[in-house]
């Protein structure tokens, strides 16, 4: 074979090698492109996983939303007692009435109103005539007379400012029909709180509290006014004031929630845990404001 022929063959071989190399490069580029496309698709499919988890966590957290103040008051109002105790005073020639509030609970299997002792024990005012007890949305009032007091009214054994007004199984003998509001009369057993109403924890400064009761000028309907005249024209309704735990003074907690005359013996509710913390007992006026006092239930109810 001549030199020119060998030269032609060499050129053809070089051309074939170049073509083969170019074909190989194009195949590699296509594989890389396909691999990149697969990775992109896989990432696109997996991406929604994290937002779904976040959304699920948010849904769970909303189920632990605390009750509103309105819900708390609505729940406790049916057990909030409006109390009016009267004494006959021959020196004054009329009745003296002391108003207060209380919580109806079940103690020793009997419906019992927990209140302050100074609401039902006022010996300096004359002879005790009795206490009338009413509840919201109840067409009945309940009366514990002086004759019933020895077996139906008791006081805290540690001399705390606490009294217990107990109704026996036969509650009908303590019902009076002189107050008719047109509402359905619920039994005391239905209204009474059972052993799930007590707070199991103490409160710290800054914790929110709600005071529920019947302050003298907050909407409570007095059984007797200063002249001894009855006023049963309107049904009773609770009043709620909100505040925080401001501090502690001895066994008492202080609170910024308003406590007025008539609130004594009522309900101090732990707003965060929706439980009965104690009794609003009295307030102490300062130069510009006043701090109420709460007697915690742990001092007189053993749990």
The per-residue pLDDT for range 65-78, each reduced to its tens digit, is 678 999 999 999 99
CA-closest candidate to residue 76, choices 104, 100, 114? 104
**Helix, strand or coil for residue 257?**
coil
CA 24, CA 264: separation in Å to the nearest integer? Answer: 96
Cα-based distances in Å from 54 to 48, 49, 62, 65, 229: 10, 9, 13, 18, 65
Phi, psi of 254, rounded to the nearest 5 degrees: -100, 150
The residue to which tokens 């896989």 are assigned? 42
CA 200, CA 207: separation in Å to the nearest integer? Answer: 15
Please tell me the predicted confidence (pLDDT) of residue 146: 81
- What's this model's pTM, rounded to 2 decimal places? 0.70
CA 303, CA 300: separation in Å to the nearest integer? Answer: 9
CA 200, CA 297: separation in Å to the nearest integer? Answer: 10
Give the tokens for residue 207. 């914790």
Local confidence band at 195 (pLDDT 50, 70, 90 cut-offs): confident
Local confidence band at 35 (pLDDT 50, 70, 90 cut-offs): very low
Is the pLDDT at 295 greater than 80? The verdict is: yes
Is the pLDDT at 240 greater than 90? The verdict is: yes
Is the pLDDT at 261 greater than 70? The verdict is: yes
Convert 131-159 to b/e letters by CB count within 10 Å (16 or more is b): bbbbbbebbbbbbbeeebbeebbeebeee
Is the pLDDT at 196 greater than 60? The verdict is: yes
Helix then strand then coil, in percent of the chain rounded to 5, is: 30, 35, 35
Is the pLDDT at 174 greater than 90? The verdict is: no
Which pLDDT tens digit goes with each residue over 86-106?
887 656 566 678 889 999 999
The dihedral built from the CA positions of residue 255, 155, 106 and 214, taken in this order, carries a sign that is negative
Please tell me the predicted confidence (pLDDT) of residue 181: 43
Lowest mean pLDDT among 3-17, 88-102, 207-221, 265-279: 3-17
Most confident of 19-23, 118-122, 174-178: 118-122
Lowest mean pLDDT among 8-17, 53-62, 150-159: 53-62
Is the pLDDT at 143 greater than 80? The verdict is: yes
Local confidence band at 138 (pLDDT 50, 70, 90 cut-offs): confident
CA-closest candidate to residue 234, choices 224, 221, 223, 245? 221
Lowest mean pLDDT among 11-15, 73-77, 164-168: 11-15
Ranges of each domain in the chain: 69-299
Is the pLDDT at 79 greater than 80? The verdict is: yes
Which residues share a beta bridge with 153?
165
Q: How many C-beta atoms lie closer than 10 Å to residue 239's C-beta?
A: 21
Cα-based distances in Å from 198 to 93, 229, 267, 274: 43, 38, 11, 9
Local confidence band at 45 (pLDDT 50, 70, 90 cut-offs): very low
Q: State in words which class domain 69-299 has.
A: mainly beta
Is the pLDDT at 29 greater than 80? The verdict is: no
């Amino acid at each position: 074979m001549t030199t020119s022929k060998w030269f032609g063959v060499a050129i053809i071989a070089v051309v074939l090698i170049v073509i083969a190399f170019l074909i190989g490069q194009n195949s590699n580029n296509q594989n890389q492109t396909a691999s990149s496309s697969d990775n992109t698709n896989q990432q696109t499919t997996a991406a929604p996983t994290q937002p779904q988890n976040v959304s699920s966590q948010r849904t769970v957290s909303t189920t632990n939303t605390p009750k509103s103040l309105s819900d708390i008051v609505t729940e406790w109002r049916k057990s909030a007692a409006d109390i009016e105790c009267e004494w006959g005073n021959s020196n004054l020639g009329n009745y003296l009435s002391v108003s207060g509030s209380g919580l109806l609970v079940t103690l020793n299997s009997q419906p019992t109103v927990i209140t302050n002792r100074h609401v039902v024990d006022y010996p300096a005012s004359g002879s005790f005539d009795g206490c009338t007890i009413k509840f919201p949305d109840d067409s009945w009032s309940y009366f514990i007379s002086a004759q019933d007091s020895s077996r139906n009214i008791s006081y805290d054994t540690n001399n705390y400012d606490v009294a217990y007004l107990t109704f026996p199984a036969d509650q009908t003998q303590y019902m009076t029909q002189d107050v008719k509001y047109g509402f359905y009369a619920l039994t005391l057993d239905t209204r009474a709180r059972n052993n799930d109403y007590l707070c199991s924890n103490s409160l710290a400064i800054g914790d929110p509290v709600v005071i529920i009761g019947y302050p003298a000028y907050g909407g409570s309907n007095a059984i007797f006014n200063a002249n001894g005249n009855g006023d049963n024209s309107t049904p009773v309704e609770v009043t709620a004031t909100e505040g925080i735990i401001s501090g502690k003074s001895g066994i008492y907690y202080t609170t910024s929630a308003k406590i007025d005359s008539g609130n004594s013996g009522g309900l101090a509710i732990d707003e965060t845990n929706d439980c009965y913390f104690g009794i609003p007992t009295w307030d102490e006026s300062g130069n510009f404001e006043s701090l109420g006092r709460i007697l915690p239930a742990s001092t007189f109810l053993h749990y």
